[in-house]
A and B are shown apart, each in its own frame.
Chain A
Amino acid sequence: MRISNFGFKISLMAKNNLRAVGIILIACVCGWFVMELEILGVRALSPYFGSAVFVVMGSVVGVFLLSLSAGYMLGGWFSQKADSPGILGSGIIAAGLWLFVMPAFIELVCDGMYNIGLDEKWGSLLAAVILFGVPTVLLGTVTPTAVRWLTNQVSDSGLNAGVVLAFSTAASFAGCVVTAFYLVLVSMRQTLRVSGIVLMVLGLVVLLQAITRGGKDAGR
């Protein structure tokens, strides 16, 4: 009797751990793509706005920080909703779709900035907002939601926040370095498209989990 009870506990823990690993993995994948997109963003804009370090770099990095800030806020709000897995899954799919189609719009948007009379400073800033704002906001919503999903009792909340931030930021580091050192050697557009597909698949998995589990305790 006691033994079988213990066995049940173990299986519950394993199940919970698997779920926790899954949630952290989602945060990691999104962390990776945020920085990959940031590095490719600098590369994508410099043919149009020049290699003046303080212009394109400043615009892109600034827009990413602002978008992440908005994403965190939005993610915190989503995490309180009953069907947060559904929302998050759809968000990740949308971000993936954005990345997938973005290559077709880079030239249009960047040339458009000059056509409406902006210089390379405000032009690159606005172009960065238009091109990278939406996917970064969406990817930013993942972190707070992941923290919420991991947290079953208030006393764990700080630990869970720490774990999620640590892993997703480490993944961001990896995404940053791998992109800057290696992915720039291949086609930027191709990289963006493949990344978009990966994100869409991830979002779909989250969404399917949400549907099959029917809401509240889903995630993975």
Chain B
Amino acid sequence: MREDRKMRKVVLYTLICVGVFCQLPAICAAFDSEWGRLIYQKDSLYHRILVYKNGSVVTLRFGRQPAVQVQSQVDLNNLRRDMLSYTKLAFCGLLYQEQPKRVLVLGLGGGVIPRKMHNYFPATVIDVAEIDPEILKTAEQFFGFREDDKLRVHIADGRMFIRELLRKGPAEKYDIIVLDAFNSDYIPFHLMTKEFLEQVKGVLAEDGVVVANVFQNNRLFDAELATFLAVFGRCQVFVDENPSTNAMLVSPGPKGQTLAVDEAVSRARTLKHKVDFSFDMVGVASRLRPNIKPEANIKVLTDDRAPVNQLRTQQRRKSP
């Protein structure tokens, strides 16, 4: 009889332990502090989508590992507020091309860049290519993103989308192309190679500009810079204040021109009177570093050889 009771106790405790163990992720999630409470998670085909909410600020992350950077952040009470410093840098293309009629963005995330671009230039056609349909749903549900007849999201691999445009023949080209389809722990190699950038060049207007969001602290930066130089001939860099984070590579099309820092600043001064930016455009212009050169022995990335995930883990010798 006694044995029986003991047995029951053991079974009960075991069940409780197993129960707690199974719920551990949910319990941990409730205490995720840095970005607030976890309000949504979804395993899509490509990402582990996590949405956190802290007051009115929502944050998008792909995966829970501490090293994984924040993908997107929005203050729902003030959609104009700039949360992540890289998003304003992404608008540096406007210094080269003030009145874009058509813009292409690869990679949606929380939709901040295309949404702001749409606000600044309501008449501009903005196409976004995003591979993961769940990201679009998440952006619409939690990040105040809306599609309309000028701002359209295409569910497609960025390279396939551009290829399809090229196949359809000479439609109108894009004045600004923003490449932002990377996250901090996985980089699709086929969106970084010379062959890909040649295709991008094919849909870029002659006086247009390509802006690529990259990380500035590893050797992949040098390889990308070398690849941009190989394809476009010219490439300038806008660096974030924080040297361990993002930088923008900017390459103007064949009829566009490169800028000196004072030119960029004076263009920013004129531009800010025309467009009601939520951030300091002059500050963005002052982040221009026109003369950064890639490491001497770095190889251009090609479809044949693109060890992007290895280069990403190698520290850059010196920060730009």
Contact = CB atoms under 8 A, between A and B. Distances in A.
A98 B157 CA distance: 30
B190 A187 contact: no
Nearest to B309: A184
Contact of A51 (B163, B190, B195): B190
10 contacts: A47-B159, A50-B156, A50-B157, A50-B160, A51-B131, A51-B157, A52-B131, A52-B157, A187-B305, A190-B304
B91 interface: no
Contact of B160 (A49, A54, A184): A49
Contacts of B256: none
Contacts, number: 40
Contacts of B189: 46
Interface residues of A, number: 17
Contact of A46 (B131, B190, B307): B190
Contacts of A185: 305, 307, 310
A192 to B, nearest CB: 10
B71 to A, nearest CB: 18
A186 B167 contact: no
Given A47-B190, A187-B304, 12 more contacts: A47-B159, A50-B131, A50-B159, A50-B160, A51-B131, A54-B45, A114-B167, A184-B307, A185-B307, A185-B310, A188-B303, A190-B304
A188 B304 contact: yes
B193 interface: yes
Contacts of A188: 303-305
B196 A47 contact: yes
Give 4 closest A-B pairs by Cβ, nearest first. A50-B157, A47-B190, A185-B307, A47-B303
B45 A53 contact: yes
Interface string B185-222: 00011100101100000000000000000000000000
Interface in B35-69: 45-46
